[in-house]
Amino acid sequence: MKRKLTAKQRAFIREYLVGLNATQAAIRAGYSKRSAKEIGYENLTKPDIHSEISEALSKVSRATKAEATQVVRELGLIAFANVQTLFTPEGKLIPRESLPSDLAKAIESYNVVERKTQQRDKDGKRKTESVIKIRMRNKLRALEMLLRHFQLADPKHRDQDV
């Protein structure tokens, strides 16, 4: 059965999770500076405090792994996006609202600019045309980041075929 932690112990846990330094956590939690090193060590060895810290660190670890996986996936979408998928088989740009979500994530900006042409309509007014400008996210940067993540950008790998 867990015993109830004091307010100072709870503060110590909170502060320890910020910097993972027991001495500084003890000081910020309100313990004496003179005894902070000993108190910090002692707190880390108390089963209830140790358990609370381990549980909190485990939650952070699980969340961080999920976020890291998502970041790697997003980088992959940018790095391996195929600009050809923006067009229909007839060569027309697919409507923006029809873009697959994975492809849309690889697009940095999408602008439609109206401009006048030299052609005139039946009333003699100059016709306008829509020019669509699409800027893709930086593919090379995403590839570099993925190479570093998977440790393939290490100098010892440079002379080898990847």
Torsion 84-87-88-90 (CA) sign = negative
- pLDDT tens figures, 23-40: 999 999 999 999 999 999
Q: pLDDT-based confidence at 162, cuts 50/70/90?
A: very low
* Ranges of each domain in the chain: 7-64, 82-136
- pLDDT tens figures, 39-85: 999 999 999 999 999 998 888 877 777 778 888 899 999 999 998 88
The predicted pLDDT at position 62 comes to 79
- pLDDT tens figures, 89-101: 888 888 888 888 8
Specify the DSSP element, H or E, that contains 103.
helix 101-104
Give the pair of three-digit tokens for residue 140.
């090379």
Flag whether the pTM goes above 0.95.
no
- pLDDT tens figures, 128-154: 888 888 899 999 999 998 888 787 765
Contact 6, 46 (CB under 8 A): no
7-64, CATH topology level? Arc Repressor Mutant, subunit A (1.10.10)
